[in-house]
Structure 1
Amino acid sequence: MDYKDYYKTLGVEKTATKDQIKKAYRKLARQYHPDVNPNDAEAERKFKEANEANEVLSDDEKRQKYDQLGADWQRYQQAGAGRGNQGGGFDWGQYGQGGGYGGEDPFGGADFSDFFSSMFGGMGGGSGGGSTRPRAGQDYQAELELSLEDAYHGGPRTLTVNGKSLRITIQPGVEDGQVIRLRDQGGPGRSGGPAGSLYITLRIRPDARYSRAGNDLTMDVPVSVYTALLGGEQTVDTLSGPVKITLKPETQNGTRLRLRGKGFPVHRQPGQFGDLYLRLSLTLPQNLTEQEKTLFRQLADLRN
């Protein structure tokens, strides 16, 4: 029976805090979750390994016993590991609570490994004679796609997770990749434990008109050469509605204008907005008449 390096499985140091372990586990759970990787045996194996590692390292009592075993593992091997019997003469009782592991996987998958069963016996619940402790249900993962306007305005949205329809409210100003947690919307708890949580990752589709950097937006605005030369007013469509801007005479191509407070709303800070930057792009007239060409030649002669 091989030693299970749970710290290596989660990719954390042996000095990792509970928060670091929790963060590492959730990252792996999202990456290898069966819902994300259907019919992928390797992903399923890694998902179960992460569950088992988290089961031990997130529990103070189990982690203490596991760390103690790590120091004694060489003695266990010398005591008879691999000689055809599970214990090999090694006293597993000092680590577990005796009895066989009941085969009940709190994550809803297959049994934990023999290594886990040998160490913790009845600690995992089931028929091994140990006490059954309340356990939180499995966390679920989902994604919700939004347009940039959806993210700007916010509002109610409906999504279906594991056959259940959920209605949520999106707060204005959310970002791509932002995660929303819904408590008690995951898997059911066991032995009186709370239900798991649902983690919804927001995916914001690219927008052809705007580029976003934090709470600021940038957009290209076409301007006729006549308005650029002579100055004038022009209406610009923003996410909050049309805005009239005034251009000075002889405005150059590529000029940037800043509209304060016309960018993206600041998340969970009502009334606060980023800025909108306008990048002016001059458009030249096409299909000139002979008379227009003559006038442009005259203008060119005057400038020379």
Structure 2
Amino acid sequence: MAGSGYKDYFQVLGVERSADADAIKRAFRKLARQYHPDVNPGDKSAEARFKEISEAYEVLSDPDKRQRYEQFGQYWSQAGAGGMGGGAPGAGFDVDFGRYGNFDDFINDLLGRFGGPAGAAGFPRGAQATRSPINLDAEASVSIGFLEAFRGTERTLSVNDERVQVRIPAGVRTGSRLRLKGKGNLQPGTGRRGDLYLNLSVADHPVWRLDGDQLRADLPVSLDELALGGTVPVMTPDGEAKMTIPPGTPPGRSLRLRNKGWPGRSGRGDLLFSLVLELPGQWSDEERRLLEQLRVLRSEDPRRSWLTSASL
């Protein structure tokens, strides 16, 4: 806004001529909020007033410009090689309001351009300060059970005095991160709100353990089931199922149920059972008799190859 004639910039900002830099900044912030075009859409007089107070702040916030203004009045801009390129106060001052996401971004940028960092906060004159945007995002930790993670579940959280219902999808793991858009911290006076990020942890399970997309578990089996084979009932996270053990299966071998594992983006993984020989704590007389018969009838020495290898 090019000026003509003398303007009392102190009067424009409503401060005493003895006002210090902090008082001038406070006055500018107050008036800028009042007359900002976003607050007064379509009001040309408010926009003109806004540019006038911005021009006043441009001069009074800079110690060198203020000194020449107080000394030379309306001719201050011609009283030195500095100033605003030798033109009238405010010459070339133009505000593109659309480039700012909110009012505080605009004010902070303007304070930096017109004397904020320059000379007042240890920055060299003419330098630009880089400002990081305000981070309004928030984080919270949520613990869920193993089967809740397998099937999916819901949680009700209290965020900034607001109850938020959260749907946790099936297949999450410890370290999974969920984003709730627009449920983070609120910036007073602007209506801006960040996002809420939930960091999930999944409790261990006494039977199931996760290995990639596969579920694993130990399956206790008897001596006769390993030797003779058969179909045995097993429990899965989906419920009961049947598994066939081939005859002569050694203990420690893993048997697989396809598509019964952990839910993932590409579908279900597999469920693997490691066969664990479970011997009874006490044999009945009949069982001992049969085992004695087995000892007599057994045709193969289980240590034959082991003894051969050990003697090499």
What residue number does 1:261 align with?
Answer: 259
Q: Give the aligned residue type for 1:275.
A: D
Q: Give the aligned residue type for 2:253.
A: T
Q: Partners in 2 of 1:169 and 1:238 — Cα distance?
A: 24
What residue number does 2:113 align with?
Answer: 97
Contact 1:216/1:277 (8 A) holds in 2: yes
What residue number does 1:273 align with?
Answer: 268
3-state SS in 1 of match to 2:227 = helix
Q: Give the aligned residue type for 1:284.
A: L
3-state SS in 1 of match to 2:268 = coil
What residue number does 1:176 align with?
Answer: 174
Contact 2:216/2:271 (8 A) holds in 1: yes
Contact 1:97/1:120 (8 A) holds in 2: no
Contact 1:143/1:203 (8 A) holds in 2: yes
When normalised by structure 1's length, the TM-score is: 0.54
Contact 1:209/1:219 (8 A) holds in 2: yes
Q: Give the aligned residue type for 2:295.
A: A
The answer as to 2:266 corresponding to 1:290 is: no
Q: Partners in 2 of 1:229 and 1:243 — Cα distance?
A: 21
What residue number does 2:68 align with?
Answer: none
3-state SS in 2 of match to 1:185 = coil
3-state SS in 2 of match to 1:233 = strand
What residue number does 2:92 align with?
Answer: none
Matched residue pairs, number?
A: 187
Percent of pairs with identical residues: 34
Shift of 1:255: 1.2
Q: Partners in 1 of 2:191 and 2:162 — Cα distance?
A: 21
Q: Partners in 2 of 1:296 and 1:207 — Cα distance?
A: 37
Q: Give the aligned residue type for 1:229.
A: A
What residue number does 2:227 align with?
Answer: 229
Shift of 1:220: 0.5
Q: Give the aligned residue type for 2:291.
A: F
Shift of 1:118: 4.3
Q: Give the aligned residue type for 1:196.
A: G
3-state SS in 2 of match to 1:297 = helix
Shift of 1:286: 2.5
Shift of 1:190: 5.3
| Alpha-carbon RMSD | 3.3
What residue number does 1:107 align with?
Answer: none
Q: 2:152 aligns with which of 141, 147, 154?
A: 154
Contact 2:160/2:185 (8 A) holds in 1: no
Q: Partners in 1 of 2:255 and 2:124 — Cα distance?
A: 66
3-state SS in 1 of match to 2:289 = helix
**Runs of at least 4 residues off by over 4 Å:** 115-121
Q: Partners in 2 of 1:119 and 1:181 — Cα distance?
A: 38
What residue number does 1:244 align with?
Answer: 242
3-state SS in 2 of match to 1:152 = helix
Shift of 1:235: 1.0
Q: Give the aligned residue type for 2:113.
A: Q
Shift of 1:273: 0.4
Q: Partners in 1 of 2:232 and 2:114 — Cα distance?
A: 81
3-state SS in 2 of match to 1:301 = helix
Give runs of aligned pairs for residues 85-124 of structure 1, distance below 5 A. 96-99=112-115, 117-119=121-123
Per-residue CA deviations over 1:18-77 (Å, capped at 9, x if unaligned) read xxxxxxxxxxxxxxxxxxxxxxxxxxxxxxxxxxxxxxxxxxxxxxxxxxxxxxxxxxxx
Per-residue CA deviations over 1:251-283 (Å, capped at 9, x if unaligned) read 21011111110001114x5xx101111101111
3-state SS in 1 of match to 2:294 = helix
Q: Give the aligned residue type for 2:248.
A: E
- Extract unaligned runs of 5+ from structure 1: 1-90, 102-114, 125-132
The answer as to 2:186 corresponding to 1:188 is: yes
When normalised by structure 2's length, the TM-score is: 0.53
What residue number does 2:87 align with?
Answer: none
